[in-house]
Structures are given as C-alpha cells and as structure tokens.
Amino acid sequence: MRTQVAIIGSGPSGLLLGQLLTDAGIDNVILERATRDYVLGRIRAGVLEEGTTHMLDEAGAGARMHAQGLPHDGFDLTFAGKHHRIDLHALTGKRVMVYGQTEVTRDLMDRRAETGGVTIYEAADAEPHDFDGGKPYVTFKSNGVEQRLDCDFIAGCDGYHGPSRKAVEGKGLETFERTYPFGWLGIVADVPPVSHELIYSNHPRGFALCSMRSNTRSRYYVQCALDEKVEAWSDDRFWDELRSRLPAETAQAMTTGPSIEKSIAPLRSFVAEPMRFGRLFLVGDAAHIVPPTGAKGLNLAASDVRYLFDGLREHYSDRSDAGIDAYSQRALARVWKAERFSWWMTNTMHRFPDAGSFGQRIQEAELDYLTGSQAASTSMAENYVGLPF
C-alpha cells in the first residue's frame, strides 16, 4: 500500500490533518488502533478557541458546531464565596465555543466518509520506520495480517501513549515534564447546567469546575487526591462535594441527577522537543500534554495541524520545504505559551497539599489582583481565548 501522508491516530489531530490534506488533493491514510465507536466514546475537551472553529470550517466540518455549539462571551471565577466574571468578549473582542470533542470527532469522521478518505480501524502494532531517510513506511497488522504502508511523510497523531514518540527516543528527543499532586474527578449528567457560562471555583476543599455539553447536559469536575478510586464516589457523594465548593446561591440552584459517565484523570504538563524527526512529525498530544484547567489540549492539536498542513501543502504545491523545516519551531513557540498558561491557571485555582499558609495567602492575593486589575484580567482572557496562530 502507498500514500503520500501516513497518519497514525484518528483523534482530533489526525482527522483534522487528514481532512485538510484530502481537500487539498494530497493522498493520506489514517491508521487507528481502536474502533470508531471506542474513539467516539471518549469524553474529553469541551471548549474550542476561535482559531480551532475556523479550522473546522476550513475542513468543511463546522456546520453542526455552528448550529448546536454554545458560543460563550465569558466565564466566572469564584473564590471566597463570591463570583467574578471574566468578560472574554469585552476584554479581547473574541469568544469561545462550547462544543464537545466527541462531536468534533464525529463531524470530522462523517466528513472523511463523505469525501472518500481512508481510515483503517483496529490497526494493531503500528510502527514508523526509516523516517530518517527518503523512504519512510509504517508497518501494522490488520485482521492479524502484517501490512506495510509506504509514504512520503508520517504524521504521529497517536496521542500521549502512541508509538510515534517512542520511535524517536534516543534520537535527540528531549522531554520536559511536571506532574501535579491531584487529579480531576469528572461526571456527565443529563441535567441543565447550573449557569449558562463556565464556573471555575477556587475553594478550601479544592478546585471545582462547572461546564456543559448542551443546555440539557452538564459536565462537572472536582479536584481529588491521586489515589482516589472512582468506585468510592456515588453520585450523591459527588453532588455534595461539588456543591460544597461553590458559593451558596450557586449550590442551591444546582439541578442534580444520575451520572452517565464518571472518571478520574491525572493532571500533567509535558513537552517533547523537537516535534520533527526527518520525515516524521509529532502532532497534538503525541508531543505535548497540558493540565485541562486552561482548556488548551485540543486547541494546541489544532494549531499544530495548522503549521504542519501549511508546510505539507507548500511541499506538494510550491515545491518549498520552508514550512516543513519551520514546523517544530513554530509549533513549540505556541505550545510553550499554552503550557505556561495551563500551569499558571492550575497553580492559581487548585489546593496544593504542601502550599502551607504562605502559599495560601499568595494564591488569594493572585486571585484578588486578577479580578481587580483590568490588565491582569485581559492577560488571562487573551490566553483563554487563544493566542493567534
């Protein structure tokens, strides 16, 4: 089998890259380890930057998002029992779109099917080869049969645990990492959201986030200990804990109901450098992870795809490798700024076990400054809506 660009992974980054390439007449094949339903079953990101929504439009996959997504002009920060609204639109002229990653993935999969793009699901043991030379290829097993996909380039869109980054270990790969001493316990429930905007809450019992997927489906999170077990959290226990971390009037207004999903995610900051190794490119979560506090993960996957797609298009249509050569540097410049913002927002909003009373007062001063200063609010807002790409 032969294609121009072999894409490993059918998450948002692989699907978006694949669609832009297909629309530009550049042949590509996606190899995905899981089934379509498994990929669609993952509940993850919820907040899209305008740059990401523009890319979905460019890929012809934005119609349902515009019809059903919820544009948000701001969000609430709560601490010390009070609400402070960050007016994203007034501060930056931009807004964000609340539309679930599951729906983004579904829209991109539907568009790929419409335009005849090839995805091989349940591709086992995918492994990139010979990307240092001019003839790269990917081996994998399909229905137990060994296969080989020859290509010009390999896009490693295979997430944090995928084979692409493993293939470049010991080849000049440098990694940077920070783990946090807590996780997020999250639920989805078919109840109306407590507020029409997101609420990020800093509370002595720990961080909480009120988000949503629609006007009838809520997504809520509470900070939890790393060794916490999801089985120990009945729905009632979750709702009680969530309400205890919100201002009284918000807690009283909350509609509760049975959860339809409940899981714990650890928080991590991680960057792999560089993001290009010859004819292999690392894209999205394969190259970097941010803690979800800043809602940046999926949006960084989209900006990586922007830079890589532009580079590949220039390679095929203009016979210029300038964009490909600049990929790693351009992507990492934006990645590190989002890493900084996500790290900062995580530090500002969570309880750290070892912060002590000094750390506690510093956090309160930071929040007070943030909500009292137009300059500080604007800085937060411009990072939250997304730096340009």
Residues of span 152-211 touching ligand RFL by CB under 6 A: 157-159, 162-163, 186
Closest by CA position to 72, among listed 251, 241, 210: 210
Least distance (Å) between residue 298 CB and ligand RFL: 3
The C-alpha torsion from 289 through 311 and 18 to 329, rounded to 10°, is 0
Does residue 296 have an active-site annotation?
Answer: yes
Closer by beta carbon to ligand PHB, 6 or else 295:
295
How near is the Cβ of 227 to ligand PHB at its closest, in Å? 22
From ligand RFL, ligand PHB, none, which one binds at residue 32 (CB under 5 to 8 Å depending on kind)?
A: ligand RFL
Q: How far is the CB of 218 from ligand PHB (least distance, A)?
A: 9
Of the candidates 105, 109, 102, 62, the one whose C-alpha atom is nearest the C-alpha of residue 260 is: 102
**Which residue in 38, 28, 30 sits closest to 10, CA to CA?**
30
In DSSP notation, 99-120 reads --HHHHHHHHHHHHHHTT-EEE
**Residue with Cβ nearer ligand PHB (136 or 284):** 284
Q: For residue 47, list its beta bridge partners.
A: 98
Which of ligand PHB, ligand RFL, none does 219 bind, CB closer than 5 to 8 A by kind? ligand PHB
Closest CA to 30 of 13, 55, 52: 13
- Position 211 contacts ligand PHB (CB under 6 A): yes
Q: Active site includes 166? A: no
Could you give the CA distance from residue 121 to residue 32 in angstroms, rounded to a whole number?
5
Give the integer Cα–Cα distance in Å for 375 and 105.
Answer: 36
- Could you tell which of ligand PHB, ligand RFL, none binds residue 10, using a CB distance below 5 to 8 A set by kind? ligand RFL
Q: In the block, which residue shows the tokens 């086992």?
A: 124
Give CA–CA dist 356/333, Å, rounded: 34
Q: Which residues bind ligand RFL (CB under 6 A)?
A: 8-14, 31-34, 39, 44-47, 101, 123, 126, 157-159, 162-163, 186, 265, 284-285, 292, 295-299, 301
* Catalytic residue set: 72, 200, 292, 296, 384
Q: Which residues bind ligand PHB (CB under 6 A)?
A: 46-47, 198, 211, 219, 292-293, 295
